Structure 1
Amino acid sequence: MISRNVLLLTGSIAVIGANSLVLSPIASSVAASFSGVDAAGVMTAAAIYGLATAASALTLASVADRIGAERALVRALLILVVALAVAALSPTLVVLCLAQGLAGLAAGTALPAIYTLAAQVAEKGRESETLGVVLTGWTLSLVAGVSLSAVMADIVHWRAVFAVLALGAAGLAIGVGRSKAWGMAVRATVPTSPLTALRVPGIKAALLNVAAYMTAFYGLYTYLGPHLGESLRLPTTFAGLATFAYGMGFGLAAPLGRLIDRYGMLTAAVVTFAGLTLVYLGMAAASGMPAILLVLCVAWGLANHIGLNLIVRGLTELDPSQRGAIMGLYSTITYLCVFAGALLYRPLFAYFGFAACALVSAACIVPALGWSFSRLPPRMAQEGS
């Protein structure tokens, strides 16, 4: 049975993720409320949110190692409540941008704290299973949060979207604050920071894998919609269906976390990263076949969920006393890869098309696959080859 604390962590990710994704589908509605602003201008607030999240994760996430991840999460959620309330009441785009910047500061502190708490509350031998449930918060934000926000903006008003998210964040802050069963935290004996975290053995190789993994995802995901709409001339609805298929695949992978606990992280990593590489290669080969791409989006979500589970769990186990700082570095790299992926893949998409982007994404996964395979016991490596 899923514990109340795991549900609180899942809900926290869902609210944070919904806010990070919600502006895109309601941008036109938001722009209509501000004089002289278009939908593209509204997305400036989303860019500010991403940069603020990366900056916060780098500079503030280590606070969780000193005051406790649960206290850091409560404070971050309370700041998020204020930010979302200001967003709902924004009289101008400038105020909305400031509100999203504040929300980014909260998210950059909250996400590392959530992953830290997921490691703390997990029962021995069920670490990946617990983390898998927590990660479904991203599915909730993508499938439910984004879809419902668009409907709410049409039926009620776009301001109602942020008001509901603010109420959700407030409820979660109260729930996290009242709960006491957050497991045993390993306190740092010295002050932690990104610099101390970078001295943890194995962290640099792990973060390089994170950068390659996230660039592969965000680079390809950014241009999936343009490929379907512009290159294949499919309706916008189909692009939404592809996103839905990815989200469903991501959510369906949650129960598979128990297989990681059963067979071990290294075995799971080899299978997962090999599978993800094949998915990217398949997307390159089927770039002109919409129906096959839709099926591959489900497989993409499945593989990405398990890969993310492996990456996050591996990072949290490097040094339990510096989980906050380590996960802060992880979140920083993740949000920087949102920009890097879009920037680096743009000329690839413009000159060579979506298939080339998928091939580059496959190449980005190969180092992680090679590292995982090299860590297998000799007998297993020989059997795998």
Structure 2
Amino acid sequence: MPGVAGPTSADRYPLLLAGLTAAVATVGATIFAISPLLSDIAAAFGIAPARAGRLIGVYSLSMAIVAPTVGLLARRLPRARVIVAGLLLFALVWLLAGWTRRFDALLALTLLAGAATGAVIPATYAYAGDLSSFAHRGQVMGRIVSGWSIAILLVVPLMAIASQTIGWQAAFGALAAAALLTAALLAFAPRPGPGAASSAAAELPVGPSLRRVASHRATLVVLAVNGIDMGAFYAVYAFLGSEMRRANDWGAAPAGMAIAAYGVGLLIVTLNGRLIDRFGKTRSAVASLAALGLVLSGLPWLVGTPALLVPGLIAWGCVQGVFFTAITSLATEQIPELRGVVTAMLSGATYFGVTLFSPPAVLLFERFGFPAVGAFAGLASLAGAALLAWPGARVAAVEGR
């Protein structure tokens, strides 16, 4: 039936699925790529690396603000159109970045890049929901989420090599070219027609849409738990690289290779999302959060022992991959007619969690060291597991659909 996504809808549109995965890999690479390129960017503009680091904050803030806004205002538009428009803006921004000679101009362009990412990522997740029944949502979502693994394992290292050999401008120029190719693929890839949920979303004004989400307990719990998880994730990730280099007297390359182990674990899980479908999305999310409580609290104690650290990072990637695939799948089913709005708010919740967790994480790191940050993140993950498992949350009600 046209416009109705059955269990195998995604398999009937392989080019569309490949394009969605490539979209995540392309725009998702930015947040990981900026950090290793900061020294090159700072040198190019004759500024301190600390000032160049503002690029990360500007990018994240823009994405956090724009994602929910675009989710609300663009809910009447076809998701493919939103994604393609976001990719075109993303490409234009980074092409212009290569020509700018002022750091303030680069900051403004990075703000626009964050806005483009804020449009692309939530619409991509919502599209995964459109292309699958909930029973098979984890499998389809996992394939698309694997784009983050591709970004970590392939795109970011290639950009680092390009920056070192031909300059950071060329590295981002190549990323812009990838965005243009992905936009072309998605523009011409066969796709299903709009479903009933999309038509219902188009009829809802902004006010009622917001009230519907704000009054839906299960959705609020999903958003809160996602914010907790991502806040805990970035609390540890923010200090991991520097701590590995300090403890092992490493340069940037060995530290980068070690962090790539996280991407390996993430890829292993996201390509096997069908196992999450079989076990149940809610149970998978709760179990992975409980496991993250142990992993995050233990990782800081392993930074000085590479033989244990690398398996620990792979384990981190695995359990984080389970959680992210499961929670995103759950988010897409809570209010199907507002799927794009909910996934947009999910992205906003990510960076709200990062903003909320950063100050206490910095304070703990300065006063008590990295293990205290790990303990804080681990306890937060356990609290998230308890909240999600709470019967009153009603998140698991969608499992029976």
Length-normalised TM-score, structure 2: 0.87
Counterpart-to-counterpart distance in 2, 1:154 and 1:268: 41
Given residue 326 of structure 1, which amino acid in structure 2 is its aligned partner?
Answer: V
CA RMSD, aligned part only?
2.2
The 1:285–1:96 alpha-carbon spacing in structure 2 relative to 1, beyond 3 Å, is closer
Tell whether 2:41 aligns with 1:41.
no
2:8 aligned partner:
none
Give the drift of 1:373: 4.2
SS in 2 for 1:126: helix
Is the 1:21–1:142 contact (alpha carbons within 8 Å) kept by the matching residues of 2? yes
2:397 aligned partner:
none
Deviations 1:296-332 (A, max 9, x none): 1110000001100111111111111111211121111
1:191 aligned partner:
205
Given residue 27 of structure 2, which amino acid in structure 1 is its aligned partner?
Answer: I
2:33 aligned partner:
22
Tell whether 2:225 aligns with 1:217.
no
Give the drift of 1:281: 3.6
Residue 328 (structure 1) aligned to one of 332, 344, 347: 344
Tell whether 2:255 aligns with 1:239.
yes
1:152 aligned partner:
162
Residue 304 (structure 1) aligned to one of 320, 330, 336: 320
Counterpart-to-counterpart distance in 1, 2:236 and 2:365: 9
1:359 aligned partner:
375
Counterpart-to-counterpart distance in 2, 1:77 and 1:287: 37
SS in 2 for 1:91: coil
Counterpart-to-counterpart distance in 1, 2:22 and 2:95: 18
Counterpart-to-counterpart distance in 2, 1:28 and 1:227: 18
Give the drift of 1:290: 3.7
Counterpart-to-counterpart distance in 2, 1:119 and 1:306: 17
Is the 1:26–1:150 contact (alpha carbons within 8 Å) kept by the matching residues of 2? yes
Query: After alignment, is 217-226 or 16-25 more displaced?
Result: 16-25
Deviations 1:23-43 (A, max 9, x none): 222222223322x32332222
Given residue 17 of structure 1, which amino acid in structure 2 is its aligned partner?
Answer: G
Residue 271 (structure 2) aligned to one of 255, 266, 274: 255
Is the 1:220–1:357 contact (alpha carbons within 8 Å) kept by the matching residues of 2? yes
SS in 1 for 2:71: coil
Given residue 184 of structure 2, which amino acid in structure 1 is its aligned partner?
Answer: I
Is the 2:247–2:303 contact (alpha carbons within 8 Å) kept by the matching residues of 1? no
Give the drift of 1:62: 1.9
How many residue pairs get matched? Answer: 375
Query: After alignment, is 130-139 or 21-30 more displaced?
Result: 21-30
Is the 2:34–2:56 contact (alpha carbons within 8 Å) kept by the matching residues of 1? yes
Is the 2:221–2:387 contact (alpha carbons within 8 Å) kept by the matching residues of 1? no
1:13 aligned partner:
24
Is the 1:194–1:329 contact (alpha carbons within 8 Å) kept by the matching residues of 2? no
1:383 aligned partner:
none
1:282 aligned partner:
298
Give the drift of 1:92: 1.5
Is the 1:246–1:300 contact (alpha carbons within 8 Å) kept by the matching residues of 2? yes
Deviations 1:76-131 (A, max 9, x none): 11211211111122222122111111111111111110000011112563210111
Is the 1:56–1:109 contact (alpha carbons within 8 Å) kept by the matching residues of 2? yes
1:84 aligned partner:
94
Counterpart-to-counterpart distance in 2, 1:173 and 1:63: 21
2:366 aligned partner:
350
Is the 2:15–2:190 contact (alpha carbons within 8 Å) kept by the matching residues of 1? no
Tell whether 2:168 aligns with 1:179.
no
Question: Sequence identity, in percent?
Answer: 28
Is the 2:231–2:357 contact (alpha carbons within 8 Å) kept by the matching residues of 1? yes
Give the drift of 1:135: 0.7
1:381 aligned partner:
none
Query: After alignment, is 340-349 or 296-305 more displaced?
Result: 340-349
SS in 2 for 1:277: helix
Counterpart-to-counterpart distance in 2, 1:237 and 1:149: 13
The 1:183–1:253 alpha-carbon spacing in structure 2 relative to 1, beyond 3 Å, is farther
Tell whether 2:292 aligns with 1:292.
no
Residue 64 (structure 2) aligned to one of 47, 51, 54: 54
Query: After alignment, is 81-90 or 275-284 more displaced?
Result: 275-284
Given residue 32 of structure 1, which amino acid in structure 2 is its aligned partner?
Answer: A
The unaligned stretches of length 5 or more in structure 1 are: 377-385
Is the 1:248–1:301 contact (alpha carbons within 8 Å) kept by the matching residues of 2? yes
SS in 1 for 2:101: coil
Counterpart-to-counterpart distance in 1, 2:86 and 2:312: 36
Counterpart-to-counterpart distance in 2, 1:95 and 1:5: 35
Query: After alignment, is 308-317 or 167-176 more displaced?
Result: 167-176
